[in-house]
Amino acid sequence: MASAEYAPAVLRTRPVATGHWRAFLAVARHLNFRAAADELALTQSAVSRQIQALEDEVGVALFLRHTRAVELTSAGAQLQRAVAPALERMDAAVRLVRQTAGRRSVAITTWASFASMWLIPRMEEFQRDNPGIDIRIDASDVQVDLETSDVDLALRYAMPAGATQGGIRLFGEQLAVVASPWLLKSGKPLRTP
């Protein structure tokens, strides 16, 4: 179908099946029906039928289909921006429900040096005192949205003015200027940091 839009006889108003959205997002991510099918463990034909059903439900074409390529229409791009975060929030909620139904776990993200030099050395005692809690540590300083990610606790270095709303100050740090003896002997005296 080369046209970006078509008009079905009657637009439907019932909710769209989640499977259609998952197929849509997979095709939008890969811009390829075969790759989307592989990701979803479905046949290419099944993914194609899901997309066709979604387009029938929405009432417009979501993809332009070329001989060897697929591209999003403007309507498809608009839906992708809206649907992707919604499904991510749903998946996060399901993960949370599953976690609370089974063994308890805590996902922590913090920068690598803090994880290796402060947090991990203290984990042995915590695990000994709390054997029913699994701890997962992600050594990263990428900002995360605690509402939508599967992270429970984010430990970050921040100046007080730049702290996240709701953040709690754990402790400060002291900085000291150090220099190698070679640097100090090799030139003009250093008077300022």
Q: Tens place of pLDDT for every residue, the chain, 193 residues?
A: 444 455 555 556 678 888 899 999 999 999 999 999 888 888 899 999 999 999 998 999 999 999 888 999 999 999 999 999 999 888 888 877 776 666 678 888 888 888 888 888 888 888 888 877 888 888 877 777 777 777 888 888 777 777 777 788 888 888 888 888 888 788 777 777 6
Whether the predicted model's global pTM rises above the 0.75 cut: no
- Torsion angles phi and psi, residue 174, rounded to 5: -115, 135
Residue 55 neighbours by CB distance under 10 Å: 22
Tokens 């975060």 locate to: 85
Tokens 């063994």 locate to: 103
Which helix (DSSP H) or strand (DSSP E) does residue 137 occupy? strand 133-139
* Domain 18-95, CATH among 1.10.10.10, 1.10.287.40, 3.40.50.1970, 3.10.450.50: 1.10.10.10
Residue 118 neighbours by CB distance under 10 Å: 13
Measure the CA–CA gap between 113 and 118, rounded to whole angstroms: 8
Same fold, 18-95 and 103-193: no
**CATH number of this structure's domain 103-193:** 3.40.190
Output the pLDDT for position 3: 47
Q: Where are the domains of the chain?
A: 18-95, 103-193
Output the pLDDT for position 76: 95
Output the pLDDT for position 123: 86
Measure the CA–CA gap between 19 and 38, rounded to whole angstroms: 15
Measure the CA–CA gap between 51 and 72, rounded to whole angstroms: 12
| CA atoms lying within 13 Å on the CB side of residue 9 | 0
Output the pLDDT for position 181: 85
Output the pLDDT for position 10: 59
